[in-house]
A = this chain, B = another copy of it.
């Protein structure tokens, strides 16, 4: 096809000082009306409220927990409830939440509305949202509007905000196979994600180096495939904890079980799953991708995926499908015989397609929608069985995005947000200067771009450097995925806002690295 012309996408930023004063909220809300009128807040006379069901026994645990979290964020050192005095109504500053659908029981999903309206006016605040997940986004915005003066008093200005995300899928990928990440490090990341309004934790659970997921059906997978069968695994209880912690913050957990490649660690606990490689007519003792020719493979995968589908509530599963090396398949006479029987000739991508289709079908039967890496889209002729494609390769990634949406499939864009690379050439501005819709296409095609994802692969990352590698650079991508493009097109304008947001992250205990020379009122205190 013809090379796509990248449309001009950034409003000129020649005189950034001439822009109207904007809020420091990150990511920038869609509509903000600010006033210089301000109200003082006091920990002793601040409260959260929301309308409960008529049946008062039904409270909303998601909101109750959020009130506790945000109270301590608003007033560090204070605890909600303990530090609130009994006062008459007009002495209290109340943030009152109303929900169009008072449904606090489920999980956030791809179609959840995150829209909210926040109004701070006459010494009171009201927050309206369609869903509880939207109200969490509004609470985050509210918390960022509150500031302290030099004497330590808390204030919030009269403000009107109407807000919703540009893209519904705003993800962060963590890789727990190349290095094990303690559960605490994952939970801390979920905290920070909520501060930047990310809403999907893409958990790349397993890969070649280790298999830390403790399956109850196949315990040998982690017993033999994890770095250590006790200290370097995620138990069912760990997984439940991560899912619940994420849900409380309006974050989905998308599990990835990548196959048929990237499965070396699987083979340790599940014999006859991987393809034996041959050299000179005999097995060499090494193993390749999953063996797609054996019925036992599909029985195992169906059984494992059935467990995964029940453990992870999200209606989506990531099936991987990237970087399958054909050399081992090619070396194996049984695989070649199977290829011949199936009429695949010497085209191993047909064998891969055969495998992936079967796995996608298994997933469909489990009523889950599958996401695959772009390789699956690129190498397969029958694309109708696919749903969502994640674009990750470098080069003209928008060309690929365009190809996928032209085929009528949905896209998640990851290519420009591979954050493993650190350093001045890979700074936040690089991640800010991305616009996923800057390709020539119809409105309908563009609506198929459901969002983007920051990927933090684990070759050089573990709990020692995860936070400073991720924050605040991932927040640059977060604004791109949440905010209006035209209002957030100028790097110079974004810089002081991101600096201020980074100081807020420090204040909340997130080890976010500095953007450049300078300081925060409250520096990170190493322990």
Contact of A511 with B by CB under 8 A: yes
- The residue in chain B whose Cβ has the minimal distance to the Cβ of A516 is B459
The smallest beta-carbon distance between A518 and chain B, in angstroms, is: 7
Docked CA distance A180–B185 (Å):
26
Query: In the complex, are the beta carbons of A210 and B519 less than 8 A apart?
Result: yes
A386 within 8 A of B: no
| Interchain CA distance A366-B261 in the complex, whole Å | 68
Choose, from A8-16, A117-125, A417-425, the stretch at the interface.
A417-425
Considering only residues 376-425 of chain A, those with a C-beta below 8 Å from chain B are 421-424
Tell me the bound Cα distance from A525 to B526 in angstroms: 13
Q: Given A459-B517, A519-B228 in contact, is the A185-B464 Cβ separation under 8 Å?
A: no
User: Does A433 touch B at the CB level, under 8 Å?
Assistant: no
Query: Are the C-beta atoms of A463 and B525 separated by less than 8 Å?
Result: yes
Contact B513 A462 (CB under 8 A): yes
Check A516/B468 contact, CB under 8 A, given A188-B526, A423-B423. no
Min CB distance, A285 to chain B, in Å? 19
Assembly CA distance A389 to B460 (angstroms):
36
Residue from B463, B468, B521, B524 within 8 A of A524 (CB atoms): B463
Q: State whether B179 touches A521 (Cβ < 8 A).
A: no
Chain B residues with Cβ below 8 Å from A179 are 514, 517-519
| CB-defined contacts of A527 to chain B, threshold 8 Å | 184, 527
Q: Determine if B517 and A464 form an interchain contact, defined as CB atoms under 8 angstroms apart.
A: no
A178 within 8 A of B: yes
Q: Which residues of B contact A462 (CB under 8 A)?
A: 513-514, 523-524
Query: Number of A interface residues, CB 8 Å?
Result: 45
Kindly report which residue of chain B lies nearest to residue A426, judged by CB atoms: B423
A113 adjacent to chain B (CB < 8 Å): no
Contact B519 A232 (CB under 8 A): yes
Inter-chain contact B526/A467, CB cutoff 8 Å? yes
Prevailing SS type, chain A contact patch: loop
- Interface residue? A209 (CB, 8 A): yes
**Beta-carbon contacts under 8 Å, A474-527 to B:** 506, 511-519, 521, 523-527
The yes or no answer to A182 lying at the interface (CB within 8 A) is yes
Q: How far is the CB of A424 from chain B (nearest CB, A)?
A: 7
Q: What is the bound-complex CA distance between A426 and B426, given in angstroms? A: 14
Is A461 an interface residue, CB under 8 A from the partner?
yes
Q: Is the CB of A184 within 8 A of B458?
A: no
A228 partner residues in chain B, CB cutoff 8 A: 519, 521
CB-contacts of A443-470 with B (<8 A): 458-468
Q: Which residues of B contact A67 (CB under 8 A)?
A: none
- A514 contacts which of B464, B467, B468 (Cβ < 8 Å)? B464
A48 CB–B CB distance under 8 Å: no
Q: Is the CB of A519 within 8 A of B180?
A: yes
- In the complex, whether A227 has a CB less than 8 A from a CB of chain B is yes
The 0/1 profile, CB within 8 Å of B marked 1, for residues 284-326 of chain A is 0000000000000000000000000000000000000000000
Which residues does chain B contribute within 8 Å of A209, judged by CB atoms? 517-518
Closest beta carbon of chain B to A65's beta carbon, Å = 21
Nearest to A458 among chain B residues (CB) is B517
Partner of A178, one of B180, B511, B517, B521: B517
The interface bits of chain A over 143-180 (1 if a CB of B lies within 8 angstroms of the residue's CB, else 0) are 00000000000000000000000000000000000111
CB-nearest residue of chain B to A184: B526
A464 and B463 form a contact (CB under 8 A) = no
A230 vs chain B, min Cβ distance (A): 11
- CA distance in complex: A458, B210 (Å): 36
Nearest CB of B to A279, in Å = 22
CB A502 to nearest CB in B, in angstroms, measures 9
The distance in angstroms between the C-alpha atoms of A461 and B523, with both chains bound, is 12
Return the CB mask of A232-272 against B: 1 if under 8 Å, else 0.
10000000000000000000000000000000000000000
Measured in the bound complex, the distance between the Cα atoms of B179 and A521 in whole Å is 12
In contact, A513 and B460 (Cβ under 8 angstroms): yes
Asked if A519 and B465 sit within 8 Å, CB to CB, the answer is: no
Cβ distance A426 to chain B, nearest Cβ, rounded Å: 8
- Cα A329 to Cα B515 in complex, Å, equals 32
| Bound form: Cα–Cα A518–B459 in Å | 8
Q: How far is the CA of A188 from the CA of B527 in the complex (A)?
A: 9
Provide a sorted-by-A list of 6 A–B residue pairs whose CB atoms are within 8 angstroms: A178-B517, A182-B526, A188-B526, A460-B513, A463-B525, A527-B527
Contacts A209-B518, A227-B518 aside, 6 further interface pairs with beta carbons under 8 A come to A184-B527, A185-B526, A231-B523, A460-B515, A463-B524, A464-B511
Closest 10 CB pairs of A and B: A465-B468, A227-B519, A465-B513, A422-B422, A178-B517, A464-B524, A464-B511, A463-B524, A423-B423, A185-B526
